[in-house]
Amino acid sequence: MSNVISAGRRLDVGVAAVAVLVVAVLLGGWYAVRAAVPLPHTPVGDDDVRVGRVTGASILVAPPQGWYRVPTGDSQSARFQSGSGALLAVDLITGLRDLDTAAPRRMRLLAYSGIDAHLTEQTVGDRGRRSFHGRMCTANAADMRGECAVVGRGTLEVTVLTMGRDGAKLADVGAVVRSLREPR
């Protein structure tokens, strides 16, 4: 009887070893492909970039010249990267009712993604009817530092975040905010 149990345990150990080996090969293959195939970068031209739905709420933003757009898989977000490795993120949220309530909530959402962001007293943008305006913020994550802004107009809220490692030239958040507009 002990030989039967022993054979059963050897079979279980063998099956488990094969399963671990298969998972390791699959993960190793994934990381090898990911390392071999770079993330596509699209150079930014003179045209504004649409963030949002083509047939719904959307905004246009003018990213910094010389930066590259990187895919996000989300129409509500646009991501850009500079040659020095700095990042720029522009995120659109609809349904804004009160920016003073929404801005601190956005800081908490950034914290969930590992970014320590804090609103400052500095404002950005113009309070005109057709302009986005709001508050600036500072942002830190691991070894990256930067600044951000949470701005709104009507029912649209936009978060602009730029971060980089020491020495990276960050995007001008104020210029990005001033470039925001709704398509006609």
Question: Order of strands, edge to edge, in the sheet holding 42-43?
Answer: 42-43, 68-70, 77-81, 87-94, 156-164, 144-153, 133-141, 116-125
149 with 135: CB under 8 angstroms?
A: yes
When mean pLDDT is compared across 50-59, 69-78, 95-104, 107-116, the lowest value belongs to: 50-59
So what's the pLDDT on residue 34?
A: 47
The predicted model gives 79-85 an average pLDDT of 93
For the chain, the average pLDDT equals: 84
* DSSP percent split of the chain into helix, strand, coil, nearest 5: 30, 35, 35
Rg of the chain over all Cα atoms, to the nearest angstrom: 23
Interval 138-155 mean pLDDT: 95
CA–CA distance, 175 with 151 (Å, rounded to integer): 13
Task: Look at 70 and 1; give whichever has higher pLDDT.
Answer: 70
Separation of alpha carbons 60 and 182, rounded Å: 6
Report which residue type is found at 70. V
Q: Which of 152, 133, 2 is nearest to 91 (CA)?
A: 152
Is this model's pTM higher than 0.95 or not?
no
Count other C-beta atoms under 10 Å from residue 167's C-beta. 8
Indicate whether 170 pLDDT > 90: yes
